[in-house]
Amino acid sequence: MNKAEIVKKIASEIKKYCTQNSISFNELVLRCELTYSTLHNIISYKTKNIELITLCKICNGMGIDLVTFIEKL
């Protein structure tokens, strides 16, 4: 799996989480303590590399362990 495929899978998991938990994108931004543009660029595939700290914040915002999240990919 290459970087682009990993980013797409991460974006897909984020979208799925929002849908399954009935939370808005803006709510997730607040929970993750990230800027709107950072999360938006990830889910719209504009980001080619996601820093580990960003991925940790996303996992924290979604209430999921980093290892569990990565295993879903």
- Mean pLDDT, residues 43-69 taken together: 95
pLDDT band per the 50, 70, 90 thresholds, residue 57: very high
- How far apart are the C-alpha atoms of 2 and 64, rounded to whole Å? 24
- How far apart are the C-alpha atoms of 37 and 22, rounded to whole Å? 21
**Domain spans of the chain?**
3-72
Q: What is the DSSP string of 7-54?
A: HHHHHHHHHHHHHHTT--HHHHHHHHT--HHHHHHHHTT--S---HHH
pLDDT band per the 50, 70, 90 thresholds, residue 11: very high
Query: What CATH code would you report for 3-72?
Result: 1.10.260.40
- Residue 61's pLDDT is 97
Asked if 42 contacts 66 with a C-beta cutoff of 8 angstroms, the reply is no
